[in-house]
Amino acid sequence: MQFSENVSLKSLNTFGIEAKARFYYELHSKQELKEIIPIIDKSEKPLLFLGSGSNILFTKDFDGYVVRIVSKGIRIISTNETECFVEAAAGEEWDSLIQFCIQNNLYGLENLSGIPGTVGSAPVQNIGAYGVEVKDCIHLVNIVMTSDFSETGLTNKECRFAYRDSIFKSRFQYRVLVDSVVFRLSRVPRFVLNYGGVTEEVERISPDSVDLKTVSQAIINIRNRKIPDPKVIGSAGSFFKNPIIDQTRFNRIINVFPDLKYFYDLGQNYKLAAAWLIEQCGWKGFRYGDIGVNENQPLILMNFGNASGKDILNLSRKIQQSVLDKFGIVLEPEVNIQ
């Protein structure tokens, strides 16, 4: 197996950060994994699996092996009157799967339209938007252990999905390759429209009827108005998670800040709107040189040209500190920082 050396990752991460991989390889199949892992293990250098680079911030060169997953394929496994099971390879672009669902009238993922990334990274992050999380539709995640190349399928429950979290970010981090994901989709229309102006946008596009294509386009339109195109301005989408706090802390904060934006979570917990917290600290629309905070969605940190990963990281830390000082809330990064 031939690794490329000292490869620029600038075009392989949506922040557009210049960083180099000491060794680089594009993985097309799980069979190739068995050939490259012994080489990596022998070198004792770190391994990083990379999809489309849409949720990562490189703060330095990666002195190890970057393996980019480029496997392709989407197929229907089985179907009945109400459900359809679809398997997609980890290297498939996320929006390719969305288009497959639209073409085959399969419901469940349309609210996740327009999210940059690959299928394999979706369960890792448990991506979510506009009232839907990908865990709602995941049936099985097929993985390969890098230690012994054993293969298994993890059920939805075994993946331990949580808000922007999964077993792949804890116990299995850097230890498994996500080979493919099996989705359980509905053949019966079931739209989630009561979130973030989706209903209004759907009615604007198609006042008389609702279908998959309309909902998907409505989501994309809303995203485009709020989120900069990473092909034009470097970003990784939402940089921070929405913090979740208990009832006691919630009561204490809302007594001081009655305009606090929040969402109910499970039980007695409340999910706070991180964007609102950041805006209240004066960061919305901030720019200094080539770094900045989006003027429409302050969760998005941006690289306007030649910012370094450390520049972005330092900005994120200043935002975290100001939110902590003002509200006593710790913002956790959603982005994988390397």
Domain range list for the chain: 4-69, 74-226, 244-337
Place of tokens 């799980």: 30
Q: What is the pLDDT of residue 266?
A: 65
CA distance 205 to 201: 6
CA distance 275 to 297: 7
Please give the CATH number for the structural domain made up of 244-337. 3.90.78.10
Please give the CATH number for the structural domain made up of 74-226. 3.30.465.10
SS3 content of the chain, % helix, strand, coil (to 5): 30, 30, 40
Contact by Cβ (8 Å): 196, 130: yes
Of the candidates 290, 298, 295, which has an alpha carbon nearest to the alpha carbon of residue 319?
A: 298
Q: What is the pLDDT of residue 82?
A: 95
Q: For the chain, where are the alpha helices, taking DSSP H only?
A: 30-43, 94-103, 121-125, 198-205, 212-226, 247-256, 274-280, 309-327
- Selecting among 52, 113, 238, 316, the annotated active-site residue is 238
Residue 164 is among the residues annotated as catalytic for this protein: yes
Phi, psi of 275 (to 5 degrees): -60, -40
CA distance 141 to 148: 18
CA distance 172 to 166: 9
Of the candidates 67, 63, 129, 64, which has an alpha carbon nearest to the alpha carbon of residue 94?
A: 129
Contact by Cβ (8 Å): 134, 128: yes
What is the DSSP secondary structure assignment for residue 110, as one 8-state letter?
G
- Selecting among 92, 133, 201, 334, the annotated active-site residue is 334
Instruction: Kindly report the three-state secondary structure assignment for every residue of 152-211.
Output: EEEECCCCCCECCECHHHCCCCCCEEEEEEEEEEECCCCCCCCCCCHHHHHHHHCCCCCC
Assess if CATH 3.40.50.720 describes domain 4-69. Answer: no
Interstrand relation of 74-79 and 83-89 (parallel, antiparallel or unpaired): antiparallel
DSSP 3-state of 137: coil
Q: What is the pLDDT of residue 2?
A: 83
Q: What percent of the chain has pLDDT over 70?
A: 99
What is the DSSP secondary structure assignment for residue 332, as one 8-state letter?
P
Contact by Cβ (8 Å): 223, 217: no
DSSP 3-state of 76: strand
CA distance 77 to 74: 10
Structure tokens at 116: 């940059």
What are the Cα distances from residue 160, in Å, to 157, 170, 331? Answer: 6, 10, 22
Of the candidates 74, 158, 151, which has an alpha carbon nearest to the alpha carbon of residue 109?
A: 74
- Selecting among 54, 68, 113, 164, the annotated active-site residue is 164
DSSP 3-state of 118: strand
Rg (CA), the chain: 20
Residues of the chain below pLDDT 70: 1, 265-266
Residue 249 is among the residues annotated as catalytic for this protein: no
CA distance 6 to 63: 9
Query: What would you measure as the largest C-alpha separation in the chain, in angstroms?
Result: 62
CA distance 24 to 229: 26
